[in-house]
Every structure is written in C-alpha cells, then in structure tokens.
Amino acid sequence: MKVLFTTDQIYKHGGIEKVMALKANYFARSLGYSVTILTTEQMGKAPCYPLDPSISLIDLELNYVRHKSYFHPVNFFRVFTHYRRWHKALQTCTPDVVVVCNYAFDFFWTPFRVGSQVKTIKEYHSSRFYYHQSRQKASIFRRLWDRFYGYFESKYTKVVVLNPDEVAFYPQAQTVVIPNPMARFPQQASLKATKAIAAGRIAPVKGFERMIALWRDVVVQNPEWQLDIYGEGEPEYIAQLQQLIQHYQLDQHVFFKTPVPSLQPVLLDYSFYLMTSWTECFPMVLLEALSVGLPILAYDSPTGPRHIVTHEEDGFLAPDGDSATMLKNITFVIHNAHERQAMGARAYQHSSRFELPVVMASWQTLIEKKG
C-alpha cells in the first residue's frame, strides 16, 4: 500500500505536524506501507519530528508567502507551477491513497487528477463551529464560495474530522470521525511541583490573554505557583502577551518557553495542564497531558476538549469564558493534592482510548477498505 500525505511544511512545531509524523511512522513501521510526504515549502529544513528512514520526502519548493492569502497575486500565479510539480511527483510515487492535510491549491484538483483507482482523503484539524455560525449572516459571495468549496470537498472519497460534534458542519455522506492518536508515555507525573503548563501555537485563537488574566488572580493567594507556556507563533501577539504580563506584574510567575520536539518528558515536571482556547477541534497537547497522568483544566470551548476531558474525573471543564468557575477549579486543584493525584491516575487510565494502535486501526480500515 502506497500512501501520500500532502501539506505545506513539516519543519515547524505544531499539532498537525506531530500527528502526521505519528501516523506516517506507524504506517511505515507497523503496517509496512510505502509512505511519502509531499510539501510545498519545506525551505530545505529538516523535519521537526523524527520520521522513519523509509519515508520519502518531496518538496515542491513553491515557497508560498504565508502571511498573504493563497489568492493574492504573489501566491496565485504560482498555482500553475504547483500543479505541474505536483503532477510530476505523483507520477513518481504512484500512490494508492492521497491524504490532503492542508488548504493549498492542491485541495481543488486532487480528487480529479489522481486517477479513478486512487482513494482521496481530506482531513480537517480545526473546528468549523464559528465558521458555521457565521453562515447565517453570510453575504451572497460567501454563500457562493461555500457552495464552490463544498463541491470540491464532496468529490473526496472520505472526509475525516476529529470529533462527533464536527460532523454536523460537513454535509457530505462520506464524513467519518477518527480522533488524533498519541503514543502513551511509560512514566507518570508526580504532580508535586508548584507549576502549571500550557503549550501550543502562540496565536489569538489559543486565548492566552485569558490565561494570563486568570493567573493574575491565582497568584494573589498562591504566589509560589508558576505558569510556563511552551510555543512559538505570531510575534505581534507574543509582544501583546508580554505587555500583559508586565501590566499584571507577573514577570516572576508566567514564563514563555521554547517549544520542544517531545513534550511528554517536559509534562512530567508539572502538576496540571491549563487550556483557555477560544476554539479547539481535538488538541494533541491534551492527549499528551493525559498520557503522563496530568489533570487538565480547560474551558469547554467548541468543540474538542469535551471529547478528551472527563469532567471531575481526569480534570475540569469550565463553561466557555466563565473565568470565575475556571479560577475555582484551579484553586481546587492547587489546594487538594490528594484529589489532584486521583485525577492524575484517572487521566493516565483514560489515555488508553487514544493510544496509537487503537486509533490507527480505524485509519487502516479506512485506507484498506474497498470502495
């Protein structure tokens, strides 16, 4: 079986990149598939996450300008080169299955140009919750675009989403739910440190300003507690967050940390995981927190955390944006070490739902099933 993944790059830290590495390695090592990863802008850099030596890497060297729309002239006029190089790459690796992981131009032509015997899969890693809500007040142009996009989406053999709530936003009959997988870690966190952790792409959708505001109230009664945020992202947003930290006088309480290739060993040094995102589809970092027995405190933001965190068992879900309840949950976990330990033990047990072999069995069925 030959499987081709297409994406923009695999040199940055991120959930999509990490999940792709896990799946690609499992396909190659455990199932014996021939795996190729096709990128558009790898920039000559090494993959961020380790890949099996048997996996082939092809970069089309298109180097789209990422801070501009794909339809901006500086990007749009590369579409012809993109198609030509993409077509040549497919002739080289002759895949049986193509998995499209991002939103580049190849999304539009993949179902039509790979051949009738090739299975095409479009997978989505972000939530459509707010996008779907805004459709009620959408302009005519937006409605036409939705129909245009939906037409191409419907031509894929399968569309993969990460949790059941997302299915309602994809009208195609071929939509299936497969969660992100994670590799269970052999050690459990001791949960004795006076530190909490957050991690991910530093971008407004992650709601770190909400987290910093919460931590201002936490340290009033718990000045010994520290919050570390691992990640990289948008410089302007990071500067705003740094100003917020200065404004709340949290210089000795909140710290940004450089992202690491493997987060699980780092998680062992903390006592709970904190998430305040505005929206999350199925955050990989929450799976990693469970995998080391770390209690999770998160807002019940649409649509992913509720499908990972079991409220009052392995963590707490506060109503989205309810800072008073979130602060109450944080205070409880800080001051109740025994219950924190019990939550951590349950978190480690519950992580088995998302272990790599369990989730990848669904992927194997999807790929090898006829039709």
Same domain, yes or no, for 96 and 203?
no
Same domain, yes or no, for 175 and 238?
no
Same domain, yes or no, for 7 and 31?
yes
Same domain, yes or no, for 147 and 279?
no
pLDDT digits (tens, 9 = 90+) for 250-306: 999 999 999 998 999 999 999 999 999 999 999 999 999 999 999 999 999 999 999
Read off the CATH number of the domain in which 252 is found: 3.40.50.2000
Same domain, yes or no, for 207 and 337?
yes
Q: Looking at the predicted structure, is the pLDDT value of residue 309 above 90? A: yes
Is 185 inside any structural domain? Answer: no
Q: Looking at the predicted structure, is the pLDDT value of residue 171 above 80? A: no
Check residues 143 and 198 and name the one with the higher pLDDT.
Answer: 198
Same domain, yes or no, for 214 and 329?
yes
Is 339 inside any structural domain? Answer: yes
Q: What is the pTM of this model?
A: 0.91
Is 188 inside any structural domain? Answer: no
Confidence of residue 29 (pLDDT cuts 50, 70, 90): very high
Same domain, yes or no, for 17 and 142?
yes
Confidence of residue 371 (pLDDT cuts 50, 70, 90): low
Is 252 inside any structural domain? Answer: yes
Three-state SS annotation for the chain: CEEEEEECCCCCCCHHHHHHHHHHHHHHHCCCCEEEEEECCCCCCCCCCCCCCCCEEEECCCCCCCCCCCCCHHHHCCHHHHHHHHHHHHHHHCCCEEEECCCCCHHHHHHHHCCCCCEEEEECCCCCHHHHHHHHHCCHHHHHHHHHHHHHHCCCCEEEECCHHHHHHCCCCCEEECCCCECCCCCCCCCCCCEEEEECCECHHHCHHHHHHHHHHHHHHCCCCEEEEECCECHHHHHHHHHHHHHCCCCCCEEEECCCCCCHHHHCCCCEEEECCCCECCCHHHHHHHHCCCCEEEECCCECHHHCCCECCCEEEECCCCHHHHHHHHHHHHHCHHHHHHHHHHHHHHHHHHEHHHHHHHHHHHHHCCC
Same domain, yes or no, for 219 and 148?
no
pLDDT value for 133: 79
Same domain, yes or no, for 162 and 243?
no
Same domain, yes or no, for 218 and 328?
yes
Is 33 inside any structural domain? Answer: yes
Q: Looking at the predicted structure, is the pLDDT value of residue 66 above 90? A: no
Is 239 inside any structural domain? Answer: yes
Q: How many domains does the chain have?
A: 2
Domain that holds residue 350: 195-354
Is 207 inside any structural domain? Answer: yes
Same domain, yes or no, for 20 and 116?
yes
Same domain, yes or no, for 89 and 215?
no
